[in-house]
Amino acid sequence: MKLSVIIPAYNEQDRLPDTLEAIDDYLIKQDYNYEILVVDGGSTDNTSQIVEDFKSKIDNLQLLRHEVSRGKGYAVRQGLSNTEGRYRLFTDADNSTSIDQVEEMWPHVDKYDVIIGSRDLEDSVLDPPQPWFREHVLGGGFRLVRKIILNLWGLEDTQCGFKIFTEEAVEKIVPQCKVDGFAFDPEMLILAKRLDFKIKEIPVHWVNQEGSTVGLENMIKMGLDLLRIRWNIITGKYE
């Protein structure tokens, strides 16, 4: 199995069908084996039933359902740990970064263990750009705080939901993770650096989808989680 695609989903009954079709339409044309795993993180709508219905159309589609929501980070890690690909990509259920952009990652997999999509590099394309408040106040503020607290100055965008990990990186990083919320991305990346895995950030074409649930309250929680990560480092809670 070369590629595993993990899709964390919470109440995504409206957007998930188009995303599943788009991902399978692209991957079925490739010359490598792949699998798609949707991790339903405690949805209260028909997200899981939609995946079950799509199994008759997509042979290598699987569902991992949690009855109770424990956060996107938990869902992503469960997906990474319950797939078999040599390379494991997680992507958002809204398909804001299309699956064909994995082609930009393949040239780097021999030299890097973690490759992350970025909306904040010179060649990145935002279509359309995010609202000013979300981009500069929420996004920019979090980016600065994250760099200061975790010393992740070399990475511009840790929050883009399009990242690929090697099998070895998953096996060594995931067991150490402790953050279940949206700050799971920087935690995984700081652990990758501490474990001497090489990280590559590449520009992506990102489509701003309506319906984002990440607001100011989430940003505050993410900031607190960043402090928790720093405390875990200081107190030696990461092996």
pLDDT, tens digit, 9 for 90 and up, residues 34-83 = 999 999 999 999 999 999 999 999 999 999 999 999 999 999 999 999 99
The reported pLDDT for the residue numbered 104 is: 97
Q: Which of 79-88, 119-128, 140-149, 169-178 has the lowest mean pLDDT?
A: 140-149
Mean pLDDT score across all residues of the chain: 93
Q: Which pLDDT band holds residue 197 (cuts at 50, 70, 90)?
A: very high
The token pair at 158 is 């840790």
Which residues 6+ apart lie within 8 Å of 40 measured at CB? 9, 10, 47, 48, 51, 63, 64, 65, 66, 75
Is it the case that residue 172 has pLDDT exceeding 80? yes
The whole-number pLDDT of residue 142 equals 80
pLDDT band for position 137 (50/70/90)?
Answer: low
Kindly report the number of other CB atoms within 10 A of residue 194's CB atom.
13
pTM over 0.85? The answer is yes
Residue 162 has pLDDT above 60, yes or no: yes
pLDDT of residue 182: 87
- For the chain, the residue count is 239
pLDDT at 33 over 70: yes
Q: What is the chain's alpha carbon radius of gyration, rounded to the nearest angstrom? A: 17
Contacts of 59 (CB under 8 A, 6+ apart): none
